């Protein structure tokens, strides 16, 4: 039975894993919002470019928000399971005797 005084476990889980959800939502929105590409300005000197809308979507795995979510998942897992879990699992899941 889970100890009823283990609210710090839920705070740790929320800090380590919940921010991934909004990061993935932002990454999906960025993925679907088309991209802009640099184009040489016609008649201008070489190297003069401008940003123009493109019809292609950026691949989802190349979005920086998705990569940040992966980094957060890895570092959050290391922090939670490597540092918090070994020290507190006996307190978090101590049987409640009433």
Q: What confidence tens digit (pLDDT) does each residue in 7-66 have? A: 777 888 899 999 999 999 999 988 887 777 788 888 888 888 888 887 777 788 888 999
Q: Alpha-carbon distance 63 to 24, whole Å?
A: 10
SS3 51: strand
Neighbouring C-beta atoms of residue 59, cutoff 10 Å: 10
pTM, rounded to two decimals: 0.68
For 78, the domain range is 18-92
Asked whether residue 10 is assigned to any structural domain, the reply reads no
Asked whether residue 69 is assigned to any structural domain, the reply reads yes
Provide the domain count of the chain.
Answer: 1
Q: Alpha-carbon distance 53 to 37, whole Å?
A: 6
């Amino acid at each position: 039975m889970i100890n009823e005084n283990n609210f710090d476990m839920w705070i740790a889980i929320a800090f380590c894993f919940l921010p991934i959800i909004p990061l993935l939502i932002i990454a999906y929105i960025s993925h679907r919002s088309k991209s802009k590409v640099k184009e040489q300005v016609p008649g201008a000197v070489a190297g003069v470019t401008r940003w123009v809308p493109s019809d292609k979507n950026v691949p989802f795995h190349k979005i920086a928000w998705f990569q940040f979510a992966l980094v957060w998942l890895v570092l959050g897992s290391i922090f939670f399971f490597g540092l918090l879990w070994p020290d507190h699992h006996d307190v978090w899941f101590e049987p409640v005797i009433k």
